[in-house]
Amino acid sequence: MNEYLIAHVGHTIKDHEHITWWRPDSRGYTICTHKAGVYTELEARSICTPSGGTCIAVSKDVAAAMALTTPYYRRSNGTLQKLYDGDWHAPVPNSREAWSELSVAKLDTGRMAKPTPIAPSKSRAIYLPPNLRQEGSAT
Report whether 115 contacts 13 (CB < 8 A): no
pLDDT at residue 93, rounded to an integer: 97
* DSSP run (H or E) holding 103: helix 96-105
pLDDT at residue 134, rounded to an integer: 52
Looking only at the bridges linking them, the beta strands covering 55-59 and 80-82 are: unpaired
20 pLDDT higher than 80: yes
Question: What global pTM score does this model have?
Answer: 0.88
pLDDT at residue 86, rounded to an integer: 86
DSSP assignment string, 33-54? GGGS--B-HHHHHHHHGGGTTS
Report whether 87 contacts 32 (CB < 8 A): no
Read off the amino acid at residue 19.
Answer: I
pLDDT at residue 102, rounded to an integer: 96
Average pLDDT, the chain: 91
Over residues 22-41, the pLDDT tens digits come to: 999 989 999 999 999 999 99
Over residues 62-112, the pLDDT tens digits come to: 999 999 999 999 999 999 999 998 888 999 999 999 999 999 999 999 899
Residue 34's Cα: distance from chain center in Å?
10
pLDDT grade for 137, boundaries at 50, 70 and 90 = very low
% of the chain surpassing 90 pLDDT: 80
pLDDT at residue 133, rounded to an integer: 54
